[in-house]
Structure 1
Amino acid sequence: MRLCTREANLHSLPYDIFYQVVEDLDLSDFNNLSRVSRSLYNLLHNDQLAKRTIKKYVPHSKEARWAAAGNISFRKAIGRIHDMQQAVAMAEPYSAAVLSYAATFIYRDGVLSYVIGNEIRVLNVHRADSTEQVVDVHNMLRRIIPTYRQQEAADRSAQITFLYYSSGVLAFLVEIDGDAHAWLILLDVTPGCSRRIRFIRQLECTRRLFVRHNGTHLFYGVHSFVDASGELLWAIQWVDLTRNTKADVPPTVLDKLAGTEIGHNVCFEIFDNQLYAVSNTIDSEEEALNWRSFYEWVCIPPAFNRRRVRMQRIWRRDHLEGPINDTWTEMSLRMDEATGRPMILECRREWREGRSDHVRTYYAEPLRMVSELATTGEIQGEAEHTEPRETQSPSSSSPSTYPLLVGGTGPSNITLPAPLPLNGPSIEDLARRKRIGKHVHSEYSGNCRTRREFIMAKTKYRTYNFSAHSFMDLVNDPEPNNRVGAATDRLRLRINSCKRKCTLSVDDNHVAKRSKLDSTLRSSTTATTSIKDDESDNVHLWPPDDADEDLIKLLCPTRKATNIHAIADERSLIYSVDTDEPHKQAIILISFDPQIRLPCMHSRNQGATLPSAPVGISLLGPEDVKKNMRQKCSIFSPCSSSAISSSNSKSSVRTEAAMHLSIDKGYWFDTKRW
């Protein structure tokens, strides 16, 4: 009998067995295993294996949708997601560049829109475009706003405030000197578009105005509805962007949505054509009698013709868990790439269990999808509503039929639960409220002794990268200097990411430990938590302390970190910072995507310019522009008749070379990757 003496290894397994083994690997393990040997690399290069992994772990990601459409392979999608996640977690960006010098900007869906002079310029950053769409603001306003056209010879100026961008449509507010009411405009900036003005309306009130749209449905609202008790409430207006007529649908009033600061205690976002609204505060009278905190949320479908809606509740926390430093609280709505569900993502800085130190923790809470709400009858679908009557075109210049600043005395249909007992929660109450371990990420563990933290005055921007499970802060860390009063500002990224522990046969949905208040729950889950939970205390700073002066100056041109406004998505961070010229800021890109390569990005090692490699993948911007961070830009009207006649003869939207080509300031980092 002949015995087999060949050493057993993974790539020698029968393919059907190897297929089953690979099925349980997540994206990181899949990518790392492919780098073990050439044999495993060839085996894992199979696109069917990669497709199963993508469908299991991130079926709702942008890369998954592009792979399903055939734009990239599923294997490349896995590698791209892994590379971006690792670059964020290790604070090792691939590139940094100056994109433009401008007065204000908005960045969402991978598209940068900014104002320079009398123009709005639009650049697709994720595609690494070398051209920009340029909008002549004067020419556009003359054509669509009669009062601006009639009195443009006078010294009248217009202020532009960016509000939102999605699906190639830019939403902004125009305030003209002398006009009592501002104009809400939705402009299609897609190249070759035949109908540019998608919506225009003069608003009678812009108090805490927000806009959300997806190119098909528009929701906008203000905090101005006055109820019977004199309190201000949110009022939401819906518009159908696919029609040339507007639907005469009254605004929907949100009775118990108590938050007023978008991004802090209230947030809005569109998912599946529905507007989700979430607040982390409840009625003040009820909160005084309640030792439990809730999220109040609602889902508003298009063409919703009810005056008021019923709010839903989700447990948030118990006040006995410890006080909160509310100045650090942030809240947003994201989409879970694994399930496609809307997720509440909230950052809270808490004194846990009454300890003297306070720690930042991000909590994620999934919301029900539209299909689930429809089956339970909690929302009313479009088919159940009467058809809205069509009146005038959405490009009409008349003020809004519903000014969103009216009084209301109708009774609320909200039924509040009975007040909870004043003696605090029982063990049964605590056992019913559980958090999923993968939905909780504390910045530091309890046994962490050394911390690299910055006060709020030094933290210019803070967010959370949900894909890489990383805290991301843009901080001012002045360079050490022996001379008194000679310290210069230095902008750096501070990233604190999870360190993955060994994963055993434990369900991802295990219960996270909450506090010492519930000893029963703690004892039953301590073993599980120690096995599966991720570790924190993994702080990285970039650029490093020995970085070149040229890079430090690129990130902060004047070495004074003032008037910083930043927006981030899953693969890049864009911020503006003051320059030596007044009313002009440098717009800086820090990219963690290896496929975003602009011609201005020069190799740090070779000094050569890398060729452009457009990707064509846009990613949802997890963060909204907050109301208190909006920037206004003044557009001054030209007074000369020659300037007026020449500008009337040219198109309002044209294509030009991107500004970053002429600026030519950027770096590509040829560092050795993990």
Structure 2
Amino acid sequence: MESGSPCQLLLAAVSNRFILSGGAFIYKLGRHCFRILHLDDTAAEEAHIDTRNIYTQLYGHAPRQPFYVDFIHYEKGILSLLLEGYDSSWCRLVVCDVQHRCILDSESLPGRNSIFVRNDEHDLYYGIIVDDPVSKWRWSLRGFNIKSRQWGHKFLLDVGFFGDRLGENVCFEIIDGVLYGASSSCSPLGPVMYDLQRSYYHWFRMRTSDSSTLQHLSGSFKGGNAVKRHAFDIMKLSQDEATGDVSFYLACAQIPYGRTERCCYRQVLVPAEHLNNFGQEGDWAITIPSMSCHVGDVYSPRFETICANDYDPRTDSFIDLVNEPSTTTRKHFRLRTRVRPQRRPVRSASPAWAFHGDVEWQQEEAIACLWPPEVKRGHDESTMGMLFNLMTPISEPVKKVRRDFDGRVFVFSPVSEAGLHGTIVLVSFDPALRIPGLRKADGTKPQSVPQKLLELPDMPELGNEEWMAPAKPFHLILGAADGGRAAGYDFTH
């Protein structure tokens, strides 16, 4: 990730709805079906799921009226779905065990306002915004024990815990059996610049096995770095792999105008030595470090072309999708990833010469890397042209970009003015991932495809009692349909 040079690139699907969750890529296929591709060591078959049969198992009869289905979260083989009537008269959360192909339970919901679901292998929690006579609205949470299939009692979060836009001004995560939530007064609800020194945050934590351990806490942003004014629109909770500290990150995705840096601020919530201390706040709060800052890029006109962006806490890196004039394809524009790490990358383990990104030197040791790189005379121009074509799967001007990012994989789908189902491009920065059938960009043989994978159906037919079956991955279907043209490349050795 820090080198900015991907390990795999492929056309992953065609859909207008997709997420990355729990190490899997999930995308919608038609009105009632969707697919799950596990991005583990070998991304082989896809799980094809038909929600009409899930509906039949829940209610004992086939759907008699139109309904809408959406996937919310996937983790540890547990899939959370939202079923909703078109007239919004009913809304239901459905919890499925994909590994054992069974429906664990379902829960009727009063609505779907900013719904979130998080789970580990033992417990699942969901939360929605409900009406409140005191503060107009509050977060309502409820837990579910996966082994016993029992629901816990509902409870409300503190009035001071505000934020209603997941991933922007509020976030939730389960880390080592503890549910965390954080919200910031730096709300992105309007085009306003916020001063961190005058802002504050609220957060809570509790053991997932015992809701009585719920602790509500708050704090103010402190430290010499908290002096810059920004409009923040990325918020994440993460545990530092090196120190074990649990922190939340507040970043501005877009580079501000003027001579202002784009920054990401990190606030430690629980130092590693206090992760299991659920005593009084005074027992440990005084040891919380001040806020730290990753100073990013200073504005320049070229960054007006950024059309999608995110932040990776694991490597302290900004990742952008840049839309710029094309010099390598017949299209008038091209899309490239741009990775801006806080630390200088180590390139000794990077792929071969032709696939290093173009380096932009910034301040001190920090650099930004654009990929694919410019075509160099004498190198494999046809391969490089194919990379740009894969990265830019539409010919019309880009109106917007749908995207998701989980630290290992970046998926995006450019949408034109027509707004039709978009081609989804998957860019993997994980060298351990092996995707069968991808071509080696250096001309060697592609990754082999097991025969049992080739024999899988493109679109499986499910019986009335079945709601899931294995299916052939999309990139293999595409490669077979167009006479063997590469639907993707593998850049690992």
Given residue 181 of structure 1, which amino acid in structure 2 is its aligned partner? W
- Report the Cα offset of residue 442 of structure 1: 1.0
* Equivalent in the alignment of 1:95: 8
2:126 is the counterpart of 1:209: no
Which among 130, 135, 153 is matched to residue 44 of structure 2?
130
2:426 is the counterpart of 1:589: yes
Contact 1:237/1:252 (<8 A) preserved:
no
* Equivalent in the alignment of 2:80: 171
Alignment of 1:351-430 (within 5 A): 357-368=259-270, 372=274, 375=277, 377-378=279-280
TM-score, scaled to structure 2: 0.78
* Equivalent in the alignment of 1:577: 414
Which among 298, 316, 338 is matched to residue 469 of structure 1?
316
Contact 2:82/2:92 (<8 A) preserved:
yes
* Structure ranking higher on relative contact order (CA contacts 8 Å, 6+ apart): 1
* Equivalent in the alignment of 2:475: 660
- Report the Cα offset of residue 262 of structure 1: 1.6
Separation in structure 2 between the aligned mates of residue 134 and residue 350 of structure 1, nearest angstrom? 36
- Report the Cα offset of residue 240 of structure 1: 1.8
Separation in structure 2 between the aligned mates of residue 142 and residue 178 of structure 1, nearest angstrom? 19
Alignment of 1:108-119 (within 5 A): 108-117=21-30, 118-119=32-33
2:350 is the counterpart of 1:497: no
Which among 353, 360, 385 is matched to residue 549 of structure 1?
385
2:150 is the counterpart of 1:313: no
* Equivalent in the alignment of 2:206: 300
* Equivalent in the alignment of 2:293: 440
For structure 1, the 5+ residue unaligned runs are: 1-87, 380-431, 502-533, 614-645
Alignment of 1:460-539 (within 5 A): 460-479=307-326, 488-500=332-344, 535=364, 537-539=366-368
Q: Which of the two has higher C-alpha Rg?
A: 1
Given residue 489 of structure 1, which amino acid in structure 2 is its aligned partner? F
SS at match of 1:477: strand
Given residue 318 of structure 2, which amino acid in structure 1 is its aligned partner? F
Given residue 118 of structure 2, which amino acid in structure 1 is its aligned partner? R
SS at match of 1:553: helix
* Equivalent in the alignment of 2:98: 189
Q: Sort the Cα spacing of 1:218 and 1:371 in 2 relative to 1 into closer, same or farther, 3 A.
A: farther
Q: Sort the Cα spacing of 1:180 and 1:293 in 2 relative to 1 into closer, same or farther, 3 A.
A: same
- Report the Cα offset of residue 122 of structure 1: 1.2
Given residue 59 of structure 2, which amino acid in structure 1 is its aligned partner? I
Which among 205, 223, 233 is matched to residue 129 of structure 2?
223
Given residue 489 of structure 2, which amino acid in structure 1 is its aligned partner? W
Separation in structure 2 between the aligned mates of residue 220 and residue 180 of structure 1, nearest angstrom? 20
Given residue 391 of structure 2, which amino acid in structure 1 is its aligned partner? L
- Report the Cα offset of residue 344 of structure 1: 0.9
Given residue 242 of structure 1, which amino acid in structure 2 is its aligned partner? K
Q: Sort the Cα spacing of 1:378 and 1:220 in 2 relative to 1 into closer, same or farther, 3 A.
A: farther
Q: Sort the Cα spacing of 1:608 and 1:323 in 2 relative to 1 into closer, same or farther, 3 A.
A: same
CA-atom RMSD in angstroms: 3.8
* Equivalent in the alignment of 2:350: none
Q: Sort the Cα spacing of 1:187 and 1:334 in 2 relative to 1 into closer, same or farther, 3 A.
A: same
Contact 2:223/2:290 (<8 A) preserved:
no
* Equivalent in the alignment of 2:35: 121
* Equivalent in the alignment of 1:141: 55
Q: Sort the Cα spacing of 1:356 and 1:185 in 2 relative to 1 into closer, same or farther, 3 A.
A: same
Given residue 495 of structure 1, which amino acid in structure 2 is its aligned partner? V
SS at match of 1:490: strand
Alignment of 1:267-346 (within 5 A): 267-281=171-185, 292-302=198-208, 311-317=216-222, 322-326=227-231, 328-346=232-250
SS at match of 2:165: coil
Contact 1:346/1:364 (<8 A) preserved:
yes
SS at match of 2:270: coil
Contact 2:43/2:436 (<8 A) preserved:
no
2:441 is the counterpart of 1:601: no
- Report the Cα offset of residue 472 of structure 1: 0.9
Q: Sort the Cα spacing of 1:167 and 1:320 in 2 relative to 1 into closer, same or farther, 3 A.
A: closer
Contact 1:97/1:600 (<8 A) preserved:
no
2:142 is the counterpart of 1:237: yes
Contact 1:224/1:235 (<8 A) preserved:
yes
Contact 2:195/2:229 (<8 A) preserved:
no
Q: Which has the higher helix share?
A: 1
Identity over aligned residues, as a percent?
21
Given residue 656 of structure 1, which amino acid in structure 2 is its aligned partner? A
- Report the Cα offset of residue 374 of structure 1: 5.5
Contact 2:409/2:426 (<8 A) preserved:
yes
Separation in structure 2 between the aligned mates of residue 660 and residue 559 of structure 1, nearest angstrom? 20
CA distances 1:539-589 after superposition (whole Å, capped 9, x unpaired): 221112327332222122113434422122232212233489975322211
- Report the Cα offset of residue 213 of structure 1: 1.4
SS at match of 1:254: coil
Which among 71, 75, 78 is matched to residue 162 of structure 1?
71
Separation in structure 2 between the aligned mates of residue 351 and residue 593 of structure 1, nearest angstrom? 27
* Equivalent in the alignment of 2:162: 258
* Equivalent in the alignment of 1:454: 303
Which among 448, 463, 470 is matched to residue 611 of structure 1?
448
Separation in structure 2 between the aligned mates of residue 95 and residue 375 of structure 1, nearest angstrom? 42
Separation in structure 1 between the aligned mates of residue 40 and residue 418 of structure 2, nearest angstrom? 29
Given residue 441 of structure 2, which amino acid in structure 1 is its aligned partner? R
Q: Sort the Cα spacing of 1:440 and 1:480 in 2 relative to 1 into closer, same or farther, 3 A.
A: same
TM-score, scaled to structure 1: 0.58
Pairs aligned (count):
440
* Equivalent in the alignment of 1:76: none
Separation in structure 2 between the aligned mates of residue 243 and residue 370 of structure 1, nearest angstrom? 31
Contact 1:256/1:311 (<8 A) preserved:
no
Separation in structure 2 between the aligned mates of residue 227 and residue 536 of structure 1, nearest angstrom? 53
For structure 2, the 5+ residue unaligned runs are: 188-193, 282-286, 346-362, 376-380, 451-460, 480-485
Separation in structure 2 between the aligned mates of residue 495 and residue 452 of structure 1, nearest angstrom? 18
SS at match of 1:90: coil
Q: Which has the higher strand share?
A: 2
SS at match of 1:472: strand
CA distances 1:414-454 after superposition (whole Å, capped 9, x unpaired): xxxxxxxxxxxxxxxxxx99747xx532114xxx8x95752
Separation in structure 1 between the aligned mates of residue 176 and residue 2 of structure 2, nearest angstrom? 30
- Report the Cα offset of residue 136 of structure 1: 2.1
Contact 1:296/1:314 (<8 A) preserved:
yes
Contact 1:135/1:654 (<8 A) preserved:
yes
SS at match of 1:139: helix
* Equivalent in the alignment of 2:457: none
* Equivalent in the alignment of 1:525: none
Given residue 336 of structure 1, which amino acid in structure 2 is its aligned partner? D
Q: Sort the Cα spacing of 1:372 and 1:557 in 2 relative to 1 into closer, same or farther, 3 A.
A: same
Q: Sort the Cα spacing of 1:580 and 1:296 in 2 relative to 1 into closer, same or farther, 3 A.
A: closer
Contact 1:462/1:472 (<8 A) preserved:
yes
- Report the Cα offset of residue 125 of structure 1: 1.8
SS at match of 2:73: strand
- Report the Cα offset of residue 349 of structure 1: 7.7
Structure 1 residues 554-563 or 335-344, which shifts more? 554-563
